């Protein structure tokens, strides 16, 4: 990528970007909900069929799988989103095929090496993570079965990042949030009830699903690059690795943060404790996926705005969509915190002891959602080194806190470690972007949405669970009364929350029709809409 970017003469307005980010967020959120439902059912099958010990073994094995696969991405997911969106915005789309091939092939090579390493060292890893020698053999087989799926998972993640750089969420949603969770559930059902396989069969199902998810995202990328052939242009791969190199280390640290908590519980405590913690942590999965969904839909818009120095437009996108995030997600986590014990019983009666874990994790996520998209925002400014430093600091906090608390207070210590690490990452990222660009998420939409959610759901939660008791009826009454109060307050503050923009986005109507002549960029897209796909694809998006 050249040092001086060729920016299109006409740019999207902040409102246009908000609408397109919201459209991508809506699609991503639907995908996240589908994935969360299927993942919840899958975990429920595993916990009910194999109990705390079996679930602990499975969660520990999949933690190693996810850690290795995410580390093998070499930062390509964020790197490709960043560079693809910027190359298209600057009129250098001819460099895209070479860049994407280089990034994905590098990911495949490294992930293959890691898969082989995991296969060979599986017995040692299994011995480290099992307190009962009877479980070591099963753990070894699971680690080896999951190692086979590492290249597929890593490659699909890299391709998902590239697809988001093209301004469309469809391929990544289809592959990662539709195909993979549905395939996982289907194959787990076959392994558990048809083939009556043990945990080893579940691990094989997990790896197979990774390859099934790779097929649609790979097919889309091949067709996308063939459909729009531009004159090849030069790109400095050194520039790509200067950004992505720190991000590769960050990916490894981030993946460690995502899964190390389960491994630390298994190491310091027992497989049963790891099962209890892993199942409890899975309840917040839907919120994490929805946070990821909205942040990724904003990423290309933020990247292009920072590239062109349009900080006010970046702030408008961030404030508005972050306010919608708080409106949608805070009620879900408040409700889950009040009804944690009841929901956990779906995993089996022995898992209800994890309610305090869920409450603590929910509070941590409420705080991080209020801080905005954090690390994604920092990365789209191009400051991948600061992101790396933040992740290392959070990892040190997680490991230190876990080592201090787990032997003394038990499983809840892992929840404290996770919560502190997430708040540190998000807080440091927000502070850094504020220092460099004066962009942050703390606008009126977030503050108003947060106050409304707290007023609507906290008092009603205490009232319903005290009057009715813990149970499904209390959860339902809490949701209904909270929603009624929230709806009234949101309607009153609809202008501050920019609900007209959201309503028009859902209806596919422009907020303020402004006819203008759009020029074309070098890759065939409208220059006033650098972050969307071709006009034909935009028309397809309206039918989503």
* 417 DSSP assignment: H
Helix axis angle, 14-71 to 285-308, nearest 10°: 120
- C-alpha–C-alpha distance, residues 206 and 371, integer Å: 34
Exposed, middle or buried, 142 (CB in 10 Å: 0-12/13-18/19+)? buried
Residue 196 CB neighbours (<10 A): 8
- C-alpha–C-alpha distance, residues 31 and 352, integer Å: 28
* Whether 322 contacts 245, CB under 8 Å: no
- Say how many CA atoms lie within 13 Å of 402 toward its Cβ: 26
- C-alpha–C-alpha distance, residues 160 and 285, integer Å: 19
Per-residue model confidence (pLDDT) at position 455: 96
* Whether 397 contacts 413, CB under 8 Å: no
* Whether 239 contacts 102, CB under 8 Å: no
Helix axis angle, 76-89 to 237-268, nearest 10°: 150
Task: Look up residue 383 and give its two tokens.
Answer: 């400051």
Per-residue model confidence (pLDDT) at position 429: 86
- C-alpha–C-alpha distance, residues 456 and 227, integer Å: 50
Per-residue model confidence (pLDDT) at position 226: 81
Per-residue model confidence (pLDDT) at position 502: 57
Query: pTM score > 0.75 for this model?
Result: no
At residue 484, what are phi and psi to the nearest 5 degrees? Answer: -65, -45
* 520 DSSP assignment: B
- C-alpha–C-alpha distance, residues 188 and 153, integer Å: 18
* Whether 325 contacts 296, CB under 8 Å: no
Task: Look up residue 353 and give its two tokens.
Answer: 């002891």
At residue 526, what are phi and psi to the nearest 5 degrees? Answer: -65, 130
Task: Look up residue 53 and give its two tokens.
Answer: 């010990």
- C-alpha–C-alpha distance, residues 507 and 233, integer Å: 39
* Whether 331 contacts 483, CB under 8 Å: yes
Q: CA nearest 233: which of 395, 386, 97, 407?
A: 97
- C-alpha–C-alpha distance, residues 393 and 399, integer Å: 10
Q: Which residues contact 25 (CB under 8 A, 6 or more apart)?
A: 293, 294, 297, 298, 321, 324
Per-residue model confidence (pLDDT) at position 400: 95
All residue ranges of the chain with pLDDT < 50 are 1-11, 13-14, 505-506, 508-544
* Whether 32 contacts 110, CB under 8 Å: no
> What DSSP string describes 258-302?
HHHHHHHHHHHS-HHHHHHHHHHHHTTHHHHHHHHHHHHHHHHHH
The gap from C-alpha 297 to its chain's centroid, in whole angstroms, comes to: 11
Per-residue model confidence (pLDDT) at position 231: 59
- C-alpha–C-alpha distance, residues 381 and 514, integer Å: 30
- C-alpha–C-alpha distance, residues 156 and 176, integer Å: 8
- C-alpha–C-alpha distance, residues 146 and 112, integer Å: 12
Per-residue model confidence (pLDDT) at position 448: 93
Q: CA nearest 123: which of 106, 136, 105?
A: 136
Per-residue model confidence (pLDDT) at position 354: 86
């Amino acid at each position: 990528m050249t040092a001086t970017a060729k920016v299109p003469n006409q740019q999207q307005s902040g409102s246009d970007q908000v609408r397109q980010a919201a459209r991508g967020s809506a699609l991503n959120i639907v995908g996240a909900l589908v994935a969360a439902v299927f993942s919840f059912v899958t975990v429920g099958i595993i916990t009910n069929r194999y109990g705390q010990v079996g679930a602990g073994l499975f969660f520990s094995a999949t933690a190693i799988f996810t850690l290795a696969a995410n580390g093998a991405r070499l930062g390509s997911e964020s790197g490709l989103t960043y560079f693809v969106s910027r190359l298209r915005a600057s009129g250098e789309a001819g460099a895209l095929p070479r860049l994407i091939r280089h990034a994905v092939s590098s990911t495949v090579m490294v992930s293959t090496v890691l898969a082989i390493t995991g296969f060979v060292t599986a017995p040692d890893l299994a011995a480290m993570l099992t307190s009962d020698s009877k479980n070591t053999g099963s753990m070894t087989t699971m680690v080896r079965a999951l190692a086979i799926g590492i290249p597929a998972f890593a490659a699909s993640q890299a391709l998902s990042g590239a697809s988001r750089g093209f301004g469309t969420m469809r391929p990544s949603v289809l592959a990662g949030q539709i195909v993979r969770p549905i395939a996982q559930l289907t194959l787990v059902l076959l392994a558990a009830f048809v083939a009556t396989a043990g945990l080893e069969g579940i691990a094989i199902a997990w790896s197979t699903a990774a390859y099934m998810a790779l097929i649609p995202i790979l097919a889309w990328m091949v067709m996308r690059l063939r459909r729009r052939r531009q004159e090849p242009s030069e790109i400095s791969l050194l520039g790509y690795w200067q950004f992505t190199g720190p991000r590769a280390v960050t990916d490894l640290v981030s993946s460690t943060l995502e899964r190390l908590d389960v491994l630390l519980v298994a190491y310091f405590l027992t497989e049963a404790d790891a099962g209890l913690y892993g199942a409890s942590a899975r309840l917040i999965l839907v919120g994490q996926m929805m946070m990821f969904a909205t942040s990724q839909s904003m990423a290309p818009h933020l990247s292009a705005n920072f590239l062109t120095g349009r900080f006010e437009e970046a702030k408008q996108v961030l404030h508005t969509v972050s306010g919608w995030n708080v409106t949608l997600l805070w009620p879900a986590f408040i409700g889950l915190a009040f009804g944690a014990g009841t929901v956990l019983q779906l995993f089996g009666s022995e898992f209800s002891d994890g309610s305090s874990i869920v409450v603590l994790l929910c509070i941590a996520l409420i705080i991080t959602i209020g801080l905005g998209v954090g690390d994604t925002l920092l990365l789209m400014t191009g400051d991948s080194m600061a992101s790396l430093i933040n992740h290392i600091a959070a990892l040190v906090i997680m490991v230190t806190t876990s080592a201090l608390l787990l032997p003394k207070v038990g499983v809840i210590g892992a929840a404290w470690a996770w919560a502190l690490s997430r708040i540190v990452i998000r807080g440091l990222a927000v502070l850094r972007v504020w220092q460099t660009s004066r962009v942050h998420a703390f606008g009126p939409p977030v503050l108003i949405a947060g106050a409304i959610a707290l007023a609507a759901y906290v008092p009603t939660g205490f009232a319903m669970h005290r009057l009715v008791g813990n149970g499904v009826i209390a959860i339902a009454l809490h949701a209904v009364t909270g929603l009624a109060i929230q709806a009234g307050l949101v309607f009153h503050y609809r202008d501050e929350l920019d609900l007209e923009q959201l309503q028009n986005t859902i209806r596919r109507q422009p907020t303020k029709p402004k006819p203008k002549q759009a020029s074309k960029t070098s890759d065939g897209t409208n220059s006033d809409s650098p972050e969307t796909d071709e006009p034909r694809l935009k028309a397809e998006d309206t039918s989503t």
